[in-house]
């Protein structure tokens, strides 16, 4: 069964792209077939695989705006064990063009429904904003993973994200929910980090991932070499944390329960 895992947060700088990229690599290392879709116009997930931005023969715009365009044409093989639909600078103007289409945020979901036999996971890296592209991704989601730092505004942002999902559900008839909350760039030496982590454990125990991603230099360095951390430094603490997260996702998302 295809699991479409959307990595989203309306706030930037929380490790969203790092999570999408390294989770794709870690799931593929666990013998899962994986497609990574980079929906962020900045293209950091794309460059993090060593691929050049904006050089694909087919653009994400073709997928999002052209109902008859087969999604398979936009898929590229990476040097690693997962496939990629790279980002495109055209995504900047896609929001305006999407607004002219009937039911524009359903196209991605419809096209991914045809990928059931091709992949075990589709991992989608969303832009750090809530526009039609992010809504398209969320509507396509079977699971939603929210990475966040344990800092002052995290709980407020999480409440905002929950409200956003409720509004999308009311408008579209979907049943999207937060299935996983991932603590990223965690430093146990910082008191605030420990306090926010405790708040998350108390109020979001069902959604909160057991895995915690530490603040780690190797995770930050790997994208500049066009590599997921698994291929840059396999024994780094950050790498091992994402491998653990992949194991946690496999154990819980591939079961018949709805609890992360």
Q: Is residue 10 part of a domain?
A: yes
The more confidently predicted of residues 104 and 82 is: 82
| Predicted TM-score of the model (pTM) | 0.94
Q: Is residue 53 part of a domain?
A: yes
Helix %, strand %, coil % of the chain (to 5): 45, 15, 40
How far, in Å, are 27, 55, 89, 173 from residue 156 at the CA level?
30, 38, 31, 25
Q: What are the pLDDT digits (tens) for 125-136?
A: 999 888 899 999
Q: Is residue 179 part of a domain?
A: yes
> In the numeric block, which tokens belong to residue 143?
């699971």
* Phi–psi pair at 143, nearest 5 degrees: -140, 140
CB atoms within 10 A of CB 255: 9
Range of the domain at 121: 3-253
Structural domains in the chain (count): 1
Average pLDDT on 247-260 reads: 74
Q: Is residue 211 part of a domain?
A: yes
Residue 11's pLDDT band, with cuts at 50, 70 and 90, is: confident
Q: Is residue 16 part of a domain?
A: yes
Q: Is residue 219 part of a domain?
A: yes
Q: Is residue 35 part of a domain?
A: yes
Q: Which of 82-96, 157-171, 187-201 has the lowest mean pLDDT?
A: 82-96
CATH of the domain at 56: 3.40.50.300
Q: Is residue 259 part of a domain?
A: no
Residues 114 and 1 sit within 8 Å (Cβ to Cβ) = no
């Amino acid at each position: 069964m295809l699991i479409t895992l959307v990595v989203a947060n309306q706030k930037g700088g929380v490790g969203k792209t790092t999570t999408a990229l390294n989770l794709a690599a870690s799931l593929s290392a666990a013998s899962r077939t994986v497609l990574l879709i980079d929906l962020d116009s900045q293209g950091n997930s794309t460059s993090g695989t060593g691929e050049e931005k904006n050089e694909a023969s087919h653009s994400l715009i073709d997928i999002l705006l052209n109902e008859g365009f087969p999604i398979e044409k936009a898929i590229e093989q990476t040097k690693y064990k997962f496939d990629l639909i790279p980002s495109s600078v055209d995504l900047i103007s896609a929001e305006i063009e999407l607004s002219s289409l009937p039911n524009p945020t359903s196209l991605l979901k419809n096209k991914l429904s045809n990928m059931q036999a091709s992949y075990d996971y589709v991992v989608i890296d969303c832009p750090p904003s809530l526009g039609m592209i992010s809504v398209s991704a969320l509507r396509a989601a079977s699971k939603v993973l929210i990475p966040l730092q344990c800092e002052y505004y995290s709980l407020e942002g999480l409440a905002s994200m929950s409200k956003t999902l409720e509004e999308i559900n009311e408008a579209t008839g979907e049943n999207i929910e937060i299935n996983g909350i991932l603590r990223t760039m965690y430093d146990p030496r910082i008191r605030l980090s420990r306090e926010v982590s405790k708040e998350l454990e108390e109020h979001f125990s069902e959604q909160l991932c057991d895995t915690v991603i530490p603040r780690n230099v190797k995770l930050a360095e790997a994208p500049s070499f066009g590599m997921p951390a698994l291929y840059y430094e396999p024994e780094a603490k950050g790498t091992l944390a994402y491998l653990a997260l992949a194991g946690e996702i496999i154990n819980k998302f591939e079961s018949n329960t709805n609890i992360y």
